[in-house]
Structure 1
Amino acid sequence: MTMNINGAVQAYDRMLRQGGSAPGLEARDSGGADFSSLLQRAAERAADTMLEGEKQTIQAGAGAADLTQVGMAVSKAGMTLGTVGALRGKVVQAYQEILRMPV
């Protein structure tokens, strides 16, 4: 899937010049948190999701859990793991691009 980032930026710029505001495009306040604390919270949430999936799986093995809840928890854990893996790949790719920049 090819994305045209220039087209998206131009469309966003046109919308702002027209004075329009679409839901979800307004500025968001991060509550004064810096980037590292935002990453830390995201990592903690991801770890919590993974732990919940493990907990549900253990309860299912003991016969003390609803299989629907187990399936949902394991599915969420799988999506979280996929997202974390994709983000890791993007960070490594960005780091490699920075290393290739001429000084």
Structure 2
Amino acid sequence: MQISAHAASNAYAATMQSAATGDDGVSDGISQSATGSDFGSVLSQAVSGAIQSGHSAESLAAQGISGGGDMTQIVTAVSQAQLALQTTTVVRDRMVQAYQDVMRMSI
């Protein structure tokens, strides 16, 4: 399965916006806008949001296994966590590639 960075970024942004507005009833801890003043803080907030999304999906899945919880919320939370992981992986790969490109440049 090929996922472009642009498509993953758009999908993740849409997921963040719907989660921040409470459309699905699952909060992943990401505010509506990234308030960081630099790239590092924005990236840190995105990673924190991905981690929080994973924790949320894990707790809802545990509730589902024990017979509680709404199946729609569980599936939505797991899908959001999967999308966050895919996006994080794409960003990491792009950053590694950019670093390797810079290191290959001649001075």
The alignment's TM-score, normalised by the length of structure 2, stands at 0.64
User: What residue ranges of structure 1 are gaps of 5+ in the alignment?
Assistant: 1-29
CA distance in 1, matches of 2:64, 2:35: 39
The alignment's TM-score, normalised by the length of structure 1, stands at 0.66
Deviation of 1:31 (Å): 5.1
Q: Which residue of 2 aligns with 1:49?
A: 53
User: What residue ranges of structure 2 are gaps of 5+ in the alignment?
Assistant: 1-33
| Aligned ranges 1:1-103 → 2 under 5 Å | 33-103=37-107
Paired positions, count: 74
Following TM superposition, the consecutive aligned residue runs of length 4 or more in structure 1 with deviations greater than 4 angstroms are none
CA distance in 1, matches of 2:62, 2:98: 38
Identity in percent: 36
Which structure ranks higher in relative contact order (CA pairs < 8 Å, sequence separation ≥ 6)? 2
RMSD: 1.5
Deviation of 1:32 (Å): 6.5
CA distance in 1, matches of 2:35, 2:61: 36
Rg bigger for which structure?
A: 1
CA distance in 2, matches of 1:38, 1:46: 12
